[in-house]
Structures are given as C-alpha cells and as structure tokens.
Structure 1
Amino acid sequence: MSGYPEQMMTFLKAGKFAVVGASTDRSKWGNKVLRWYQDRSLTVVPVNPTAKEVEGLKAVRDATDVSDLSMTSLSVIVNPALGLTMIKNLFSKDASAWPHAVWFQPGADDGNIAKFVREKGIQDRVVLGGPCILVSGDGIRQELGMGGKGKL
C-alpha cells in the first residue's frame, strides 16, 4: 500500500505535464515547479498568459491550450479565484477532453475549488490540500518505479 494519496500517484502517471502559473522569475514557485519537471527530463509545458517562453520552453496562454490535455497532468500555482475559473473551464467539456489529473499546489486551492471538485465528482483526478510536488514528487516517483531525484 502506498504512503501517498492515490490522486498523487495518478497525477504522476501522466504522459506529460503542464505548469499553470509558470513564471519567468526563478524565485517564484511557478518557475521552481517547472524546473522540477525539467530536471527529471519530463515533458512539461509552461502555462503563462503573457510570456511566450519560460525556461526555454514555448509557453501557452491558457490550460485549455495544452495539446493532448487528456494525457496531461496540470500543476496549478495561481490564486484560487483563477484556479476555480480554470478548473470549471477544463471540466465543463466532454470527459474525454478532461486533463489526466490536476494538482493544486499549496495556497492555490480553497473551499470553492473543493466544493466544485466534490460536486463534479472528480476527487479521483484532483489533489487538494496536499503537500507540494517539490516535497512529495520524488518519493511518489520512486514508489512508482520512475527513478530518483533530479538536480533542483
């Protein structure tokens, strides 16, 4: 049995990842999380409404612009009001177009997001109120047999 919630395990089984709130500022969490994926040679897409590129990767403006969204897990590092709008947009489509999973990093979720997740019945696809991927990600990857730590 895993020491991690099943949603976190599901999240990291995705074929690719996107960071909603990816920042060009290396001191911001959105940049640190993006580099976490890069340091582990994982396919990752930065989502930033204004930057054309983040850490050498072509950015998309909105989470709905991520290609192959159904095979993509999203790390969300934006304020909860933006996160609520994003998750409502993502999960208002046909289920085949939903993201693989969504992980709201600490501080990015709130009661309104939790309520939407419960009402929509998507608790198995969404990580809320948990630790940051920077804290738990390597342990989950090791448990899944995906290798060790990166260099961040």
Structure 2
Amino acid sequence: MSMKSKIKSFFGANRQYAVAGASNNPSKFGYKILNWYIKHNLSAIPINPKEKEILNQPVISNVKTIIQAIENHKDLDSYKTSKVDGLSISFLTPPSVTVATLKEIESVEGYKNIIKGLWFQPGSYDQEVLKLADSLGEFDKVIEEDECILVRGEEGLLSANL
C-alpha cells in the first residue's frame, strides 16, 4: 500500500482520532497536532497520563480505555465514541512509550477491527516500534518515513473527501 493511500485511509467521515503524547506546551508537536485536528473540526482525544485537559479537550489517560469504549459502543466523556467506525492514532511519544502503547493496544481483544491507522510522527518510532506494529498485523495501517500530519494531513483529508 502506498504512503498516499495509507494517509487517505487514516481519515474517515466517521472516525475517532487520538493523539498519544498530547501536550499543554504550545511549543511541542503534541500540542500543535492536537490543535490541527481541532482546527479541522475532527474529534481528537488527547492521551496523556498526567494532564486533565489540553486545548479544552478532556484528556484520557490511556489508549485501552478509548478502544474499549469504541468496541462497546459507549461514549467517553464528551466524545461520541459510540458512533464511530474506528480509531486513528497520531503518536508523538518517545519510541519506548510508543512500544508500551502498542502493547496496550494488543492487549485489547478485537483491536484489529477498531484501529484504522497509526501515524508515527518523526521521533516517535524506531525499528522496534515498526517490528511490533508489523507483528500486531497493523503495518499496512502505519504511516512513518518522516511524514508529518501538519504537512500531509490536508492532502489526506482531501483524498478521503472530508
């Protein structure tokens, strides 16, 4: 699958997004990327174990909670996770944290039906991360190769007709 088609399938009219490593610090990409989603009217859940709210969005502390809400058709806080077709995640965490998050995803039965895209931002992945994504059977949904949503996101939205 080409990077272009992976970027297109990352987006969807009925998609829930999440930002792993979302930050309250405006100079960090975890802030800029969450802000990008908000500006494009896309529902994005900030994932951060330490914060309560980022950019006025309620924070969820881990990805497992989000996947289970989608799987069980339940809303999560103000997020309409009961009505979405799946979850696409932007990663801005150091590779070791990205690995831990992928292992957490793997621990949820049925994750393959829920996860629609994994966007590893530059600096969030290494060979171990890519190998793990591959062993999870999710590699066809991975965007990496130094692709940044701030650069390629618009194109993805256009190609997905959003």
Do both proteins adopt the same fold according to a TM-score greater than 0.5, normalized to the shorter chain?
yes
Paired with 2:62 and 2:137, the residues of 1 have a C-alpha distance of 23
Paired with 1:132 and 1:102, the residues of 2 have a C-alpha distance of 12
* Equivalent in the alignment of 2:28: 28
* Equivalent in the alignment of 2:116: 100
**Structure 1 segments unaligned to the other structure (5+ residues):** 147-152
TM-score (ref. length: structure 2): 0.81
Preserved CA contact (<8 Å) 2:64 2:108:
no
Preserved CA contact (<8 Å) 1:19 1:46:
yes
Paired with 2:143 and 2:101, the residues of 1 have a C-alpha distance of 15
Return closer, same or farther for 1:100/1:90 CA change in 2, 3 Å cut-off: same
Paired with 1:53 and 1:89, the residues of 2 have a C-alpha distance of 22
* Equivalent in the alignment of 2:78: none
Within 5 Å, give how 1:109-128 maps onto structure 2: 109-128=125-144
| Counterpart AA for 1:20 | A
Specify which of 129, 134, 147 is matched with residue 131 of structure 1: 147
Q: 1:89 Cα shift? A: 1.4
* Equivalent in the alignment of 1:8: 7
Preserved CA contact (<8 Å) 1:104 1:128:
yes
* Aligned-residue identity in percent: 27
Q: 1:119 Cα shift? A: 2.3
TM-score (ref. length: structure 1): 0.86
**Structure 2 segments unaligned to the other structure (5+ residues):** 72-84
Preserved CA contact (<8 Å) 1:23 1:54:
yes
| Counterpart AA for 2:153 | G
Paired with 2:36 and 2:99, the residues of 1 have a C-alpha distance of 24
Within 5 Å, give how 1:81-100 maps onto structure 2: 81-96=96-111, 98-100=114-116
CA deviations on 1:66-88 (whole Å, 9 max, x unpaired) are 23267111111000000011112
For 2:30, what is the secondary structure of its paired residue? helix
Runs of 4+ in 1 over 6 A off after TM superposition: none
